[in-house]
Amino acid sequence: MTTSIHPTLDVNNVLAAIDNIYDLLQAEAEDSERLRRPTPAVQQALKESGVFQLLLPVEYGGAEAGPLEIIEVISRLSRADGSLAWLARVLTSETGYAAASLPEETARELFGGEDKALVAGLASMDFSGTARRVDGGYIVDGEWQYVPGLSMATHVDLGVTVEETGERIICVVPRSSLRVTDNWKMLGLLSSGTLDYSAWELFVPDNYTFLPGPENLRRGADILRLSPSALATLNQGAWSQGVGERILDELKQLTQENRGHSERDVTSAEFYAEFARHYSHVRGTGALLREIWGEVNDNLERGTKPDVELQTMMRLAAALSTRTVLEISHLAHRFAGASVMRNGVLQRFFRDGHAGTQHRGTAHLVTQQCGEILSGTLPEGTYWGFYDLVVPEPE
């Protein structure tokens, strides 16, 4: 058994740190968007906040946070800045997986010191790269796309398929060993540092590789025992909550600034009715998200796997939170007038909201499949794959 190298991270301290850097994040937001990555000051503040250590094993100074704690942290950060929270959710998750899965000597080297590695990647869902077995490791080739946080990461995980055996493995390599394509020129989430990268004839030692899957974890947070898609779903729901709350915050402020001008859309009776409806939706989806993930947390503490219905509700709660952000964005576009068209906070969250709701794990198809499960119309033995339902063939 490994002994702790650093004091365990307190999630309450992370939440307090996010509150303390709020003004900095607002002041630097425009420059971060221009750079298409966090400014140096923001990068340092995020590192010092402890957010990237949420899922690190306690022996490396991490929090091994539970699902309800993750909801609080990611929603708090996304309410401050949607792009930065998008970046943080991926760096936090991939760093946690790597630290929990790599051999102990390698994990201690990367995460045991004061200057901890930050790992980006989408290895758990993209094994399009190839690996060729050689003495002491593998030669890796491949291209990967749309990886948030790559601009901040020190290391990247590569999902590859071994040519000789068809086995899937994950390789962790220094970012400097890859060819990075700086092509993130999108509508929203501009500050998330989402980039493409490739590897050609790259040697990766055996001790920097691990097998994917919860059954291959060596240490770390209980939530990592769920599938990577489950953690992605949790992060998406939490992110959506914060972004939805912030757009409502901005609309509330705009309404107060226009009080007494009854002729304006944002102070009309129709707006107030719509604002109340969307406000209740955010509160409702937040309550559902916490209720469902509270049940998941109970399962984790008992050492049991969530059943298919609970897995369905995990996805549905995130999908509803995501849908609510889209509807609130439409509310802003309909009533805020030029305020949502001009450069500024409301426009930025409007763009981030639309970009983030494209997430595959909460697409409308997922909601449809949730309905099929919950209505009892699918055969016994149906289960969730990465994002989609797997329905057994009729006998």
Please write the tens of the pLDDT for every residue from 53-67: 999 999 999 999 999
What is the pLDDT at residue 11?
95
The answer to the question of residue 6 being in a domain is: no
Q: How far apart are CA 136 and CA 292, in angstroms?
A: 45
Which of 111, 143, 165 terminates a domain? The answer is 111
In terms of domains, do 232 and 333 share one? yes
Handedness of CA 304, 309, 314, 315 (dihedral sign): positive
Q: What is the rounded distance in angstroms from the CA atom of residue 358 to the CA atom of residue 269?
A: 32
Of the residues 111, 132, 166, the one at which a domain ends: 111
- Nearest 10 degrees: Cα torsion 45, 356, 352, 62: -10
Domain end among 159, 186, 213: 213
Say whether both 64 and 207 belong to one domain: no
CB-hemisphere CA count at 13 Å for 123? Answer: 31
Note whether 199 and 231 are same-domain residues.
no
Number of structural domains, the chain?
3
In a domain, 363, yes or no: yes
Whichever domain contains 358, its CATH number is 1.20.140.10
Q: Do 376 and 268 fall within a single domain?
A: yes
Q: Which of 137-146, 262-271, 383-392 has the lowest mean pLDDT?
A: 262-271
Residue 5, domain member (yes or no): no
Q: Are 89 and 166 contained in the same domain?
A: no
Q: Which amino acid is at 21?
A: I
CA distances from 126 to 7, 169, 358 (A): 34, 11, 18
Please report which confidence band the pLDDT of residue 139 belongs to, taking 50, 70 and 90 as the band edges.
Answer: very high
Same domain, 281 and 368: yes
pLDDT tens-digit readout, 150-178: 999 999 999 999 999 999 999 999 999 99
Looking up tokens 């990967």 gives 144
Mean local confidence (pLDDT), 88-101: 97
- Whether residue 273 is predicted with pLDDT greater than 50 in this model: the reply is yes
Q: Which pLDDT band, with edges at 50, 70 and 90, does 5 fall under? A: very low
Give the domain range for residue 70.
Answer: 11-111
- Determine how many CB atoms are found less than 10 A away from the CB of residue 185: 7
351-374 pLDDT, tens digit per residue, is 999 999 888 888 888 999 999 999
Can you give the CATH number for the domain in which 184 is found?
2.40.110.10
The answer to whether 293 and 344 are in contact (CB under 8 A) is no
Distances (CA, A) of 320 to 89, 233, 277, 316, 390: 19, 11, 14, 6, 22
| Burial classification of residue 30, based on how many CB atoms lie within 10 Å of its CB (0-12 exposed, 13-18 middle, 19 or more buried) | middle
Rounded Cα gap, residues 167 and 161, in angstroms: 6
Query: How high is the pLDDT of residue 185?
Result: 86
In a domain, 17, yes or no: yes
Q: Assess whether 209 and 254 both reside in one domain.
A: no
Q: What is the pLDDT of residues 292-333, one digit of tens each?
A: 999 999 999 999 999 999 999 999 999 999 999 999 999 999
CATH at 99: 1.10.540.10
pLDDT single digits (tens) 223-255: 999 988 999 999 999 999 999 999 999 999 999
Assess whether 105 and 166 both reside in one domain: no
Q: How crowded is residue 49: how many other Cβ atoms within 10 Å of its Cβ?
A: 21
Q: What integer best gives the mean pLDDT of the chain?
A: 93
pLDDT of residue 126: 85
| pLDDT above 90: residue 258 | no
Q: Is residue 1 part of a domain?
A: no
Residue 84 has pLDDT above 70, yes or no: yes
Q: Are residues 370 and 281 in the same domain?
A: yes
pLDDT of residue 123: 67
CB-based burial label for 158 (10 Å; 0-12, 13-18, 19+): buried
- Same domain, yes or no, for 250 and 188? no
Residues 241 and 374 in one domain: yes
Q: Which residue has the higher pLDDT, 164 or 123?
A: 164
Average pLDDT over residues 125-148: 94
β-bridge partners, 120: 156
304 within some domain: yes
Predicted TM-score (pTM) of this structure: 0.94
pLDDT of residue 358: 86
Q: Both 180 and 233 in a single domain?
A: no
